Amino acid sequence: MKKVKTAIFPVAGLGTRFLPATKASPKEMLIVGDMPLIQHAVLEAVEAGIERFIFITSQGKTAIEDHFDRNKLLETFLEQRHKIADLEKIRRSQLQPGQAIFIRQQDPLGLGHAVWCARHLIQDEPFALLLADDLIISKTPCTKQLVDAYEANGSGNYAAVMEVAMADVSKYGILDIQQQTNNVMTANSVIEKPDPTTTPSRTAIVGRYILDPRVFNYIDTQKLGVGEEVQLTDAFNPMISQNIPFLGMLFEGERFDCGTKEGWLDANIAYAYKDPELKPRLLETLNKYTISN
Ligand code: UTP
């Protein structure tokens, strides 16, 4: 069985749900805790054994490239002042020469199209796909959980899934479940943003996948799906009918939709709560505002 060594990070979206913050700076550079969302996702991938990082970017996203590059000026400054802890922090966000590839999606035609832009960079091996605006806090990194599920169950397309409220099914790709063993289920089909009255379940895909490389043959860039975008989900059903299964894995952990103000706020609070240094400050501040209400 081929190992998952490559990850794609689509970061070319317009981030309209978080305007004006995302007008001139990428959504993926929003900070949760002490680092940008995209670094959380890259570190999660590293912990899952990923060695090659492909970023699908667009105009105005160069801050992401700079973030993973070396910053010699800053390094020299910190070295001269013996600020070893700070040096360590910036080195953690550096990828090794040749490990990262940045390519551009020229038009924001949707997630399916963004992934398709990497078609010449992936050979005949499965790859991880991480949407950095979905932040997942868990004991075992979510991508590692998916890699383990893939290694235990064999080839196919995999996505991390969770149960959502009925009112929210129309925001997600939803699974029509065939059968489930423990936390892994196979799907009869996947439906993008169904109506609550017709949805086959409340089991929703979140932004973590392991994909079969044959997916590139099934992404139809001529066909616009829901929201007039090339939907990644639309590639999965034809693959299921060609006996390439789609598996959902209920992940352990908590997911925050940091593409919205509310989700981003929740994520920062959750981070501060789990950080022994920040927790007292968080409680003090919450207390202050609760009392003054
Ligand atoms: P979203 O659905 O969150 O879209 O994309 P968006 O454009 O970033 O944000 P909103 O909905 O306007 O607020 C999910 C992920 O797919 C990437 C985004 O960067 C994000 O990581 N994406 C989306 C692309 O790379 N290209 C696209 O054309 C669309």
- Residue 281 CA from chain centroid, whole number: 29
Q: Are 12 and 56 in contact (CB under 8 A)?
A: yes
Distances (CA, A) of 51 to 7, 63, 95, 99, 134: 8, 21, 10, 7, 21
CB of 37 within 6 A of ligand 1: the answer is no
How many angstroms separate the alpha carbon of residue 111 from the centre of ligand 1? Answer: 7
CB of 16 within 6 A of ligand 1: the answer is yes
Q: Residue 13: name the closest of 67, 62, 58 by CA.
A: 58
**Angle of CA points 212, 59, 209, to nearest 5°:** 20
pTM, whole model, 2 decimals?
0.95
Return the half-sphere exposure (C-beta side, CA atoms, 13 A cut-off) of residue 240: 19
How many angstroms separate the alpha carbon of residue 13 from the centre of ligand 1? Answer: 4
CB of 105 within 6 A of ligand 1: the answer is yes
Tokens of 149: 């599920």
Distances (CA, A) of 30 to 18, 25, 101, 135, 287: 10, 8, 21, 11, 26
**What would the mean pLDDT of 240-268 be, rounded to a whole number?**
97
CB of 110 within 6 A of ligand 1: the answer is yes
Q: Residue 237: name the closest of 246, 229, 227 by CA.
A: 246
Give nearest CA residue, ligand 1 atom 1: 13
Question: How does DSSP classify residue 234?
Answer: H
Question: How does DSSP classify residue 274?
Answer: H
d(CA 25, CA 60): 7
Q: Residue 234: name the closest of 111, 108, 103, 132 by CA.
A: 111
| Atom of ligand 1 lying closest to residue 108 CA | 28
Ordered structural domains, the chain, with CATH? 6-259 (3.90.550.10), 260-293 (no CATH)
How many angstroms separate the alpha carbon of residue 113 from the centre of ligand 1? Answer: 11
**What would the mean pLDDT of 208-212 be, rounded to a whole number?**
98
Confidence tier at 127 by pLDDT (50, 70, 90): very high
How many angstroms separate the alpha carbon of residue 228 from the centre of ligand 1? Answer: 13
Give nearest CA residue, ligand 1 atom 22: 13
- pLDDT surpasses 90 at 290: no
How many angstroms separate the alpha carbon of residue 225 from the centre of ligand 1? Answer: 15
pLDDT 10s digits, 63-93: 999 999 999 999 999 999 999 999 999 988 8
- pLDDT surpasses 90 at 242: yes
239-250 burial: b if 16+ Cβ within 10 Å, else e: bbeeebbbbbbb
| Atom of ligand 1 lying closest to residue 22 CA | 13
SS3 state of residue 184: strand
pLDDT 10s digits, 153-167: 999 999 999 999 999
- pLDDT surpasses 70 at 3: yes
CB of 111 within 6 A of ligand 1: the answer is yes
Question: How does DSSP classify residue 18?
Answer: G
